[in-house]
Structure 1
Amino acid sequence: MAGVSLKCGDCGALLKSVEEAQEHAELTSHSNFAESTEAVLNLVCTTCSKPCRSKTESDLHTKRTGHTEFVDKTMETVKPISLEAPKAAAMEIDNIDGSSGSGDASEVEMVVPGVDKNILEELEGMGFPKARATRALHYSGNASLEAAVNWVVEHENDPDVDEMPKVPANSNSGPPKPALTPEEVKIKAQELRERARKKKEEEEKRMEREREKERIRIGKELLEAKRIEEDNERKRLLCGFEKMEGGEFLFLPRDKIDPAVINSAGTELNSAINNPFFGVL
């Protein structure tokens, strides 16, 4: 019986064609293939019609979807394996060894793209090489001198910045965009300045709002701290503390001390310290 599949000698996978074997080799680096009379399974799910190439794949499908019924259509699709190289690969081989093919005839002609000559002259007058100036104009869309200069600044470290750009000769890129007139340039510049001014004003307003919020927050914190200090001082005065001369310190006169209260507090504190669970509860 003729072979109906290719079997990978490294992992045992069954493959339907040379193309599949090539893809498998590229993905896995396996290179040991042989013809096999064992057909690649074609188990079709009766619920969703998904084909599965192995029992393992059908089991995984069942686990993911709950579908359990499959129809074996292997013999309907099986056919002898063809060991001929794919046509595309054969053409590549022919072109490499030069025995056939028309690579030269099919090569696309590449030409320098058209750019705005007036802006190109201005860029060259500024000291930019022609190739760099042409490249800048092409990739900035021939928009303006400013756009071309900005492109040069952004791409001055590109390794190909001084290579003349090329495009297919038959590309329908259309004529280059016309340069702006001096009056249009002035209007555009004014618009940019106005936009920058508004953006700066908005940023300054935002920063001022943030600073005002911070000042309010700090003021509230200071007022709260002062209120707490005054409240604590009032409580101490109510408890009998008196201010010393200068008002910097408070003290409790001896005649206002209640020994019973002090002793009771000491007893409670000593009991808490001696409690084995002190610090745990």
Structure 2
Amino acid sequence: MAVPEVDKKIIGELEAMGFPRPRATGALHYSGNASLGAAIGWIVDHENDADMDEMPLKIISSGISWRIYSQLVNYSQERIQSGKQLIEAKRSLEENERKRNIEFRKPEKEEEKRARERIRRKLKQDKLERRVNLGLPPEQLVAEKRTPAVRIEQNPFPVRSVAKSERLRECLRSLRRNHKDDDARVRQAFQTLLIYVGNVARNPNEEKFRKIRLSNPLFLDRVGSLIGGIEFLELCGFETTEGGEFLYLPHNKVDMATLNSAASELKSALINPFFGLL
């Protein structure tokens, strides 16, 4: 057994590229000792072979030793073929697993879709009931004339719409009355609404503050599940998107006067212990 003789120049080039001498020697030997490209191609094709970095040996005798050499070559080829089959089997298993996961997710996605539709219908019904409780018509017949936008930081004495302020105040009173036996939850709702309103007022150009996912567990627990919570945000300009997935306040409908009024009414509700009870 001896190390096969290969082109020393090409070996040098392969080593300069970072390949160890055993791998470079084997690649050049098994690819026919022909060219740098052929050797690199062999390395790529056999990169997963366990004996890639073992120095190749050749049998220099003849006769029965040649038969042994042939057997070794055949054994090596069988190992290579077996390795390829294992890789293919693994790839097939991963693909089947991916397909099963897709099939498994289909019912879950359908259920999510149905859940969003149920939420959308419930929100629509709740909105109708809230409007009736507030003494408002089922559909608003006359669009309110909005006050020109005034940034909070530029106007320490914000202009307030008396009609809108009263509606906001009555909405909060209704929320308090409907949940009068759970003061802590009502207070938490007022605080959360103040955060939503304040974020938009301070960052009107940031879409993330003007978009609320209705199925968000935190939102549902603190605002969405309370009668009057969503109605208050709608009075601030938020709209339910098509499909009922989000509450969204379009940038061109941001009304600073309304947001100022909303913040003022929320702060009043938080500091007045008798708010909505008298």
Which structure dedicates a bigger proportion of its chain to helix?
Answer: 2
Q: Which has the higher contact order (CA 8 A, sep 6+)?
A: 2
Which structure dedicates a bigger proportion of its chain to strand?
Answer: 1
One fold, TM greater than 0.5? no
Larger Rg, first or second structure (1 or 2) = 1
In the superposition, the TM-score normalised over structure 2's length comes to 0.30
In the superposition, the TM-score normalised over structure 1's length comes to 0.29
